[in-house]
Chains A and B, each alone.
Chain A
């Protein structure tokens, strides 16, 4: 099944929401670029399994 059709089916199944317009379909199809971006990053970050708190880091690296 093509990416957009899969995406539409998943949204309908999980959220009971249908595409409100053609722009919605185009933007949903563009999620393929999000997938590609995640795939490109995957494995490049050595710290992704470490526990972290964003707020704690804000304090840790503050001025």
Chain B
């Protein structure tokens, strides 16, 4: 029998709605799991048990009184600690914001609350969401639940570790260069970065106004679909959010991929992938073929331009956001972060504008060529076997560690520049026993198709159901 903490989000929510399990029992299970795994993982920054217990009791009382249940009624959730919730801490994983308590609540958490969920913890993360590994000097590194010396992926490190280990049923992460997909890949869970503008960013710590995205990490495509259905859609408080109607993402999960063409890049993404990662990708493609998909090998256009432009936007915008603190409190940043921010001040405005000005035309040309041929793209999420925290520790490693560090996100960043939806799902284990991720991307606003492909894959595989060794048997 599955432990309560190991239920999927949808299963847990449906069980609460049917009054088969109480919200209080789910919360107790999550908190009990936290007690067991957190000394190893360091996945949380703060926990508010008392507030959460009150919310759980209120959720149970509402059901007992016959009130209608929302799609997430009574579900305890913990999010990356960068989502503003009035009166609750929001450290952004940093010493600089260690004592910050916002007086507003972000739209995405308000929408989760309206659907019946409540928050019980703030999760560890890369400082200011600015690294792909999960290193954190202010609150300690987050550790991989499969093997603690290895990276969790970042920047949503605590989200990946907590979802994988049964601390929370799902978690909001953010993704500017891969920060949802990387921890999803490294920790063996499922995550999706939606189309740029698909989800409101009001009340969410900014890193890069042009490339930031909010999205879920959870244990399956179906669970991600449930969260995304709740949080997506236009928000008057975020004028950059798209007015595109929000489909029922769960309804799209039919398992049928007949007629779906899945492209596998031959000139990028796979060229640098290590053999165990490629073997896992090829095995995943066969599963997708078995569901009816046609696999098409193709060269992707404009990859040199995308590669040139992708880093400039987030570095320049991140540097601008942090300029006051970099002048006044540079020593309060981890060295790897202040080092990264520093270079951003030397990027000429003309480069930044060029990168932004070419973004639309490049997307248009890319979409015309690629999505005229295929519906989705499949790549490894992280092209190498997972590195350890020590191997990617810029603050203490030798010169050259920066390259190992930045290589982690080489396959995720292009989809941020293009603004495309992209998911990561577990598809194997590398020779060290660490998860490998399958990345699937699609056209703008094709989240339903992306999730449909991942769900189809998960119907025939059990990688997403496997639990890391840190979880008690």
Contact = CB atoms under 8 A, between A and B. Distances in A.
Given A44-B305, A47-B365, A57-B360, A23 B394 contact: yes
Interface string A21-52: 11110111011001001101100110110101
Interface string B340-383: 10110111000100101111111111011001000000000000
B271 interface: no
A48 B367 CA distance: 17
B96 to A, nearest CB: 13
Contacts of A2: none
A35 B400 CA distance: 19
B338 A21 contact: yes
Given A34-B308, A54-B419, A48 B342 contact: no
Contact of B364 (A41, A48, A60): A60
A32 to B, nearest CB: 10
A20 B339 CA distance: 7
B399 interface: yes
A31 B346 contact: yes
A30 B401 CA distance: 13
Interface string B187-200: 00000000111000
Contacts of A27: 339-340, 342-343, 402
Nearest to B395: A23
Contacts of B307: 37
Given A11-B346, A58-B242, A20 B333 contact: yes
The majority secondary structure among interface residues of chain B is helix
Nearest to A4: B346
Chain A interface: which size bin? 35 or more
Given A10-B346, A63-B442, A24 B361 contact: no
Contacts of B336: 23
Contact of A14 (B305, B308, B345): B345
Given A7-B346, A20-B333, A26-B339, A45 B305 contact: yes
Interface string B125-150: 00000000000000000000000000
B312 interface: yes
A57 B418 CA distance: 10
Given A30-B343, A62-B444, A41 B363 contact: no
B338 A20 contact: yes
Contacts of B196: 54, 58
Interface residues of B, number: 57
B330 A17 contact: yes
A45 to B, nearest CB: 6
A56 interface: yes
A56 to B, nearest CB: 7
Nearest to A21: B335
Nearest to B442: A63
B326 interface: yes
B443 interface: yes
Interface in B242-260: 242, 244
Contacts of B302: 45
Contacts of B311: 34
A17 B445 CA distance: 40
Which one of A27, A30, A34, A47 has the greatest number of beta carbons of chain B within 10 Å?
A27
Interface of B: 195-197, 210, 240, 242, 244, 302, 304-305, 307-309, 311-312, 323, 326-327, 330-331, 333, 335-336, 338-340, 342-343, 345-347, 351, 354, 356-365, 367-368, 371, 394-395, 399, 402, 419, 442-446, 449
10 contacts: A11-B346, A28-B342, A30-B402, A54-B196, A54-B363, A56-B360, A57-B363, A61-B363, A62-B445, A63-B442
For the complex of A and B, 8 pairs with smallest distance between CB atoms: A52-B360, A23-B339, A37-B308, A61-B367, A24-B339, A24-B342, A47-B361, A20-B338
